[in-house]
Chain A
Amino acid sequence: MQQTNFIIEVQNVSKYFGEKVALDNINLSVKKGEFVTILGPSGCGKTTLLRLIAGFQTASEGEIRISGQEITQTPPHQRPVNTVFQKYALFPHLNVFDNIAFGLKLKKLPSSIIEKKVKGALKMVGMTDYELRDVDSLSGGQQQRVAIARAIVNNPEVLLLDEPLAALDLKMRKDMQMELKELHKSLGVTFVYVTHDQEEALTLSDTIVVMSEGKIQQIGTPIDIYNEPINAFVADFIGESNILNGVMVKDKLVSFAGQEFECVDEGFGENMPIDVVVRPEDIYIFDPSDAAQLTGKVTSCIFKGVHYEMLVQTTTGYELMVQDYNYFEAGREVGLLVKPFDIHVMKKERTCNTFEGRLVDENHVEFLGQEFECMPVKDIEPGATVKVEVDFGRVILQDNEEDGMLTGDVNFILYKGDHYHLTVRSDWDEDVYVDTNDVWDDGDRVGITIAAEDIRVMQ
């Protein structure tokens, strides 16, 4: 059977909390021995997914299999997985030895074997001689080691880790990352690791699963995810990036930031609107010369330890982030260059807002739970279901939510070099995408207005 290649299979799994969709049709297969990281911002559903695999919650829909066995409804104590929790969750009334032996004692193993296993686990996490210590007397890092030992001592087929390093300070976190990676290698157990820290994900994983809003955005190796982000969300979330609107002029030629560039991408078609991602470290910065593809002026320069991070305002009106070892002070004229293979082209998910709607009469159309005035529609019967299109730049946002025809919350902000691309979750629970030059904050409450002449109604 082909399925046995995968130790964890999540199929069409959805999870609802009342009305709220926490996970939306998740499909994920994890190979035996893999180190998989589920990465996403808080509230994206990554912890929920882990809890479904651990069995602390059950899926509303879909199926989860471990080692080919269907375990969707199996209670946690009967699953061959163990979990390391974010806040360690050690048993405070037990000492280090008894914490680690907890699982083994439940299995009624002879005490000589328990002792051997516990000592082995402690050695593995570098905590030999700590057996009799009270868990409260340990530092955060030590407690997390004990928590890891407590999980791995049971020889689970899968080790689930829920942001295990989030509570540790930076130095300790770096050390533990290395140790976890070592541990993974020596144990050969499948690790499923949940984090919101993209750097951690890139460092540790064989495979990264990027999640947002209960959906999987992209699955791939760290290199794939970093170099070939599938959409603007992934590009923005993983590392620093310049994301710009562009047009694929033809194969291997792309136009963005007011300039045409050679690139390596093909097959998008001619004059196709696309998104371009250029990592700040992939832009060469130097004194203006003939080699420059773009020229501009440095507007700010921040020392970041290894490199300088500079913002450059190009003469074509775009702002780009550039990272370089050399210092170019604010106000200096510079030239910029991007190599063809450093330009990543992404298909646009959409080029304008599209809504399902209903034509009310010749001059009115209903969508987003609201009736809008529109230009006279001649050839469609009133009452018919219609497609409504609105360009990103034609949606007007207002500070005062009462001024808008409908209201919503700013949900996701993407800087596109010369404007912001916002995702506004309307109260109708449909997203409205907006291009604007105004600065909004994540979570802002806004009024949304669309003028009659900007509404295109189609059958």
Chain B
Amino acid sequence: MMKNLLAKGYLWLLLALLYSPILIIMIFSFTEAKVLGNWTGFSFDLYSSLFSGGMHHSLTNALINTFVIALIAASVSTMLGSIAAIGIYNLKSRTRATMNFVNNIPIMNPDIITGVSLFLLFVSFGISQGFTTVVLAHISFCTPYVVLSVMPRLKKMNPNIYEAALDLGATPFQALRKVILPEILPGMISGFILAFTLSIDDFAVTIFTIGNEGLETLSTYIYADARKGGLTPELRPLSTIIFVTVLVLLIVINRRAEKQKQEK
């Protein structure tokens, strides 16, 4: 009994430690006090001023940039990653193992290293930093994750179904589109969502590739804002919204994964 209580207490303490920061932000997003920590009564003012835009034009811009970058990066890396996964899957087993390993290195690599190396790459090729470089950078670190999430679907697939499609008169491209694609689509969607959240979330790589033309994403905006002294109060409702969005996406991914397991 006592043991059980301790175990449960430990769990709740851990959860509290994990989630209290975000909870605090969420709670204080519903008050209009300028300084975090002061409660001046419940209100939706910060939410309405966040969406009314006007005075926080730069924040809205950062938000739009973030989502546009995430959308492009996730789409392109889903395409690249899926094609790469199919290619790797069809390699001979020895080369395949090597390629899988090579694919995993960028995932293990600290973001900061990826950021610095991309920065050096762009500089040495004389590419001026800005929107394009951020998108390219995000594509490059998202793609391995897509490969990773498509690969299991390919492995699960009956290898004969591609041949069966050819046998029934499909050209290799038709077989890819009509048979392989539907089979790996769940993996591609998971990969897309993963890439999307990774891109939104990223700071380390973005800061090195964003240049100084005034382009801001959410993470760089918040960073700059915090360094200027004091966070803009509107960041509190914004963080809340982003957190809830990511939470929903994660639930969707997990549900999908569970459903797939059950189907098996």
Cross-chain contact A83 with B170 (CB below 8 angstroms): no
Cross-chain contact B158 with A75 (CB below 8 angstroms): no
Closest CB of chain B to A74's CB: distance in Å? 11
CB within 8 Å of A: which B160-180 residues: 160-161, 163-172, 174, 178-179
Say whether B202 faces chain A, with CB atoms less than 8 Å apart.
Answer: no
Residues of chain A within 8 A (CB-CB) of B165 are: 91, 102
A102 nearest CB neighbor, chain B only: B168
Cross-chain contact B168 with A85 (CB below 8 angstroms): no
Say whether B201 faces chain A, with CB atoms less than 8 Å apart.
Answer: no
Cross-chain contact B166 with A107 (CB below 8 angstroms): no
Which of B158, B169, B182 is close to A93, meaning CB atoms less than 8 Å apart? B182
Residues of chain A within 8 A (CB-CB) of B168 are: 77, 82, 102-103, 106, 150-151, 154
Cross-chain contact A85 with B169 (CB below 8 angstroms): no
Interface size on B, residues (CB 8 A): 19
In whole angstroms, how far apart are the Cα atoms of A88 and B158 in the complex? 9
Residues of chain B within 8 A (CB-CB) of A93 are: 182-183
Which of B158, B167, B174 is close to A87, meaning CB atoms less than 8 Å apart? B158
Which of B161, B169, B178 is close to A89, meaning CB atoms less than 8 Å apart? B161
In whole angstroms, how far apart are the Cα atoms of A86 and B178 in the complex? 21
Say whether A76 faces chain B, with CB atoms less than 8 Å apart.
Answer: yes
Residues of chain A within 8 A (CB-CB) of B174 are: 106
Say whether A54 faces chain B, with CB atoms less than 8 Å apart.
Answer: yes
In whole angstroms, how far apart are the Cα atoms of A136 and B264 in the complex? 10
Which of A87, A91, A151 is close to B179, meaning CB atoms less than 8 Å apart? A91
CB within 8 Å of B: which A98-118 residues: 102-103, 106-107
Residues of chain A within 8 A (CB-CB) of B166 are: 55-56, 75-77
Residues of chain B within 8 A (CB-CB) of A305 are: none
Cross-chain contact A92 with B183 (CB below 8 angstroms): yes
Which of B160, B169, B179, B263 is close to A77, meaning CB atoms less than 8 Å apart? B169
In whole angstroms, how far apart are the Cα atoms of A93 and B172 in the complex? 18
Cross-chain contact A85 with B183 (CB below 8 angstroms): no
Contact flag A76-B163 (CB < 8 Å), given A92-B183, A150-B168: yes
Residues of chain B within 8 A (CB-CB) of A102 are: 165, 168, 170, 178
Cross-chain contact A77 with B164 (CB below 8 angstroms): no
In whole angstroms, how far apart are the Cα atoms of A82 and B161 in the complex? 13
In whole angstroms, how far apart are the Cα atoms of A241 and B169 in the complex? 45
Cross-chain contact A76 with B167 (CB below 8 angstroms): yes
What are the interface flags for A131-164 relative to B under an 8 Å C-beta threshold, 1 for contact and 0 otherwise?
Answer: 0000010000000000000110010000000000
In whole angstroms, how far apart are the Cα atoms of A154 and B160 in the complex? 18
CB within 8 Å of A: which B224-264 residues: 263
CB within 8 Å of A: which B132-191 residues: 158, 160-161, 163-172, 174, 178-179, 182-183
In whole angstroms, how far apart are the Cα atoms of A54 and B167 in the complex? 7
Given A75-B172, A150-B168, 11 more contacts at CB 8 Å? A55-B166, A76-B163, A77-B166, A77-B171, A88-B158, A89-B163, A89-B164, A92-B161, A92-B183, A151-B167, A151-B168
Residue pairs across A and B with Cβ atoms less than 8 A apart, 28 shown, are A54-B163, A54-B167, A76-B163, A76-B166, A77-B167, A77-B168, A77-B170, A77-B172, A81-B167, A82-B167, A82-B168, A83-B163, A83-B167, A85-B160, A85-B164, A88-B158, A89-B163, A89-B164, A90-B161, A90-B164, A91-B165, A92-B161, A93-B182, A93-B183, A102-B170, A103-B169, A150-B168, A151-B168
The residues of A with any CB-CB pair to B shorter than 8 Å are 54-56, 75-77, 81-83, 85-93, 102-103, 106-107, 136, 150-151, 154
